[in-house]
Amino acid sequence: MNQKELNELRRRFRPDRCNISKIFGCYVNSNKEIIAWIDTSLGLMQPEEQEMYLALLKKTLSGSLGKNLVDIVFSTEQVADSDEHRLLQTIRQTEGKDPNAREALFRRIIDALDMQESNYLILLAADAYDVPHRGKDDILLADAGDTVFRYFVCAVCPVKAPTLALRYDIERNEFHPGSTGHVALAPEFGFLYPAFDDRAANIYNALFYAKNPAELPQEVIDALFRVEPPMSSAEQKNAFDTALTEALDRDCSYDVVQAVHEQIRARIEDHRETHDPEPLTLTARDVGGILADSGVAPERIETFQKACAKRYGEDAALTPGNIIESKKFEVTTPEVKISIAPENSYLIETRIIDGRKYLLIPADEGVEVNGIGVCIRE
């Protein structure tokens, strides 16, 4: 899926735009016991209630592709004959109305999930989208489409336990202690099945959402999809950092790392400015070109590329936003941390003076210490 297709689906999560007829789900306590079932018509809800349910479901399509939203890829064998794929297809084809399939899905999540002491809410809703034709000028032509995209979304939302708080009593015009009640929070994770690729259903893929991209619920992914869990954004960055430092060894200088960071950051900015809906990706070969431009020896580059292939897979496409921090640049020592805008990272220099290693920063004017302007004497 690309960003344009994702946005197209996100816009459907309004009462007047979607074809969702039912909201299904269950409320689970910290002992993995289902204490309430949800099977209600969206059309019979009050408008405020409709919007609240749809907002929670829509949240599973938020965040960045490749970071909060990761592709789940099924093998040909799974699509042809597997329990996990057959279950997803059953829920999709019955619009979630098969109670046995729903419960089987919920049980897979419950058995694999550890929310510690928190209760949580599982929501499920199916939609049928009459996909309009997209004209040459990128305008959607509602009367020209001939494809119906049938899909469902599932969200797992923590539930905040009730607390006492001062509440305003309108009738008495006073504040009195009262319970906040059990409140469903934004989803911790969820998924869309099938993926919406080239504006049509792709039953070989699902799109998994994680609120915290650094911690993907690997056990849940395995229970639902039986695939090799994708690397989290934190795991991708750690793998990249390790491959770079180990392969370059003493050649991993400040200048090399700054060049890698700056060139990848520049590609991210260029991609953002082009408004290209397809996610930006890099390969180890692309990074190898940056290293070559920085004067790194060919044998070091080859070692780095082999390390990436081992960690990510041969010819893997890396998400640039996962392997560098594009909006910050930090240099740390055991005693000092320097934070600088990424576009100004070139201002920092490394130098050895009288046998000691130094980080140098120009300080011509505007120097402040805790908000106090100071002068640097010659």
For 24, the enclosing helix (H) or strand (E) is strand 22-28
The pLDDT of residue 145: 63
The pLDDT of residue 359: 92
CA gap 150, 127 in Å, rounded: 6
Strands 140-141 and 189-193 come out as unpaired
Per-residue pLDDT of the chain (378 residues; tens, 9 = 90+): 899 999 999 999 999 999 999 999 999 999 999 999 999 999 999 999 999 999 999 999 999 998 999 999 999 999 999 999 999 999 999 999 999 999 999 999 999 999 888 999 999 999 999 998 776 666 666 655 678 999 999 999 999 988 888 888 888 899 888 887 889 999 999 999 999 999 899 999 999 999 998 889 999 999 999 998 788 888 889 999 999 999 999 889 999 999 999 999 999 999 889 888 888 888 888 999 989 988 899 999 999 999 998 888 887 888 898 988 888 899 999 999 999 999 999 999 999 999 999 999 998 888 989 999 998 887
CA gap 252, 280 in Å, rounded: 25
CB atoms within 10 A of CB 370: 5
The pLDDT of residue 314: 81
CA gap 24, 42 in Å, rounded: 10
Q: How far apart, in Å, are the Cα atoms of 325 and each of 187, 209, 233, 298, 319?
A: 25, 21, 11, 26, 12
CB 179 within 8 A of CB 164: yes
For 83, the enclosing helix (H) or strand (E) is helix 83-93
Q: How far apart, in Å, are the Cα atoms of 293 and each of 148, 282, 307, 373?
A: 49, 16, 20, 40
The pLDDT of residue 143: 59
